[in-house]
Amino acid sequence: MYDKNISEDRKKYLRKIKKTKISIILTQLLVLIVFIIGWEIFANKGIIDSFITSQPSRIVETFLNLSANRTFNTFRSNFN
């Protein structure tokens, strides 16, 4: 399937495409991480109302609590 007779220009082009894809994914991850960290900091400082928007740490804590108590699975089984 992969032809070994690819020209050097084609190889450079494919490497450039791959590097571009990787840089886009890394940029998206960075934006997501900055958003979550900012959300947590602003909620802790009281800049945003954590009652309305919650906090990432509270969301993770609640999810882990539900998973540990198997409450989530019980909740889902009631709707099947």
Per residue in 23-65, pLDDT (tens digit) is 999 999 999 999 999 999 999 999 999 888 889 999 999 888 8
Per-residue model confidence (pLDDT) at position 79: 57
pLDDT above 90 for 21: yes
Give domain status of residue 7, yes or no: no
Its domain, for residue 20, covers: 16-77
Per-residue model confidence (pLDDT) at position 68: 82
Number of domains making up the chain: 1
- Location of structure tokens 């099947």: 80
Give domain status of residue 44, yes or no: yes
Count the Cβ atoms, other than its own, within 10 Å of residue 43: 20
In sequence order, the 6+-apart residues with CB closer than 8 A to the CB of 45 are: none
